[in-house]
Amino acid sequence: MHIEKIPKEEYILLAKQFKPKKFNATSWVKLAISAGMKYIVLTTRHHDGFCLFDSKVSDFTSVKTAAKKDFVAEYVKACRKFNMKIGFYYSLLDWRFPGYHNREKYPESFNEMVEQAHSQVKELMSNYGKIDILWFG
């Protein structure tokens, strides 16, 4: 979206096509264990603002679009089943907000982006039990 300069209105439509058929959190965890890993970190939301969890403060989520799934919940469940430490990566950026690109020109948009980030991080840290690792980008 950012590099290709895709307008957000056009980019958002891609969520209607996002239906990962091969998503299998259990197989990921088993593979991680066989590789000797002690934890896994899942990207819960990247810079485009699309969430792989059910957020109350955004409609741009895997639950509210085509997939109709909370991938974070499935990942957490698989990790717990095999006693794998759970890590979340959450991007504080959101390219859909004009305030991300120009904080001075769009201070209200920037503040809305920050509020959304605070709310979503709270959701992630409240809705899935104990989380072992939290990374921001």
One DSSP character per residue, 57-81 reads T-S-BTTTSTT---HHHHHHHHHHH
Distance linking the first and last C-alpha atoms of the chain: 17
Local confidence pLDDT in tens for the 137 residues of the chain: 888 888 888 988 888 999 999 999 999 999 999 999 999 999 999 999 999 999 999 999 999 999 999 999 999 999 999 999 999 999 999 999 999 999 999 999 999 999 999 999 999 999 999 999 999 99
Q: 29 in helix, strand or coil?
A: helix
Note if the pTM is more than 0.95.
Answer: no
Q: Give the residue from 30, 40, 47, 122 showing the smallest Cα distance to 88.
A: 40
- Number of Cβ within 10 Å of residue 16's Cβ equals 10
What confidence score (pLDDT) does residue 3 get?
86
- Rounded CA-CA distance 64/10 in Å is 17
Q: 119 in helix, strand or coil?
A: helix
Q: Taken in order 131, 23, 78, 54, is the CA torsion positive or negative?
A: positive
- What strands, in cross-sheet order, belong to the sheet with 39-45? 39-45, 85-90, 133-136
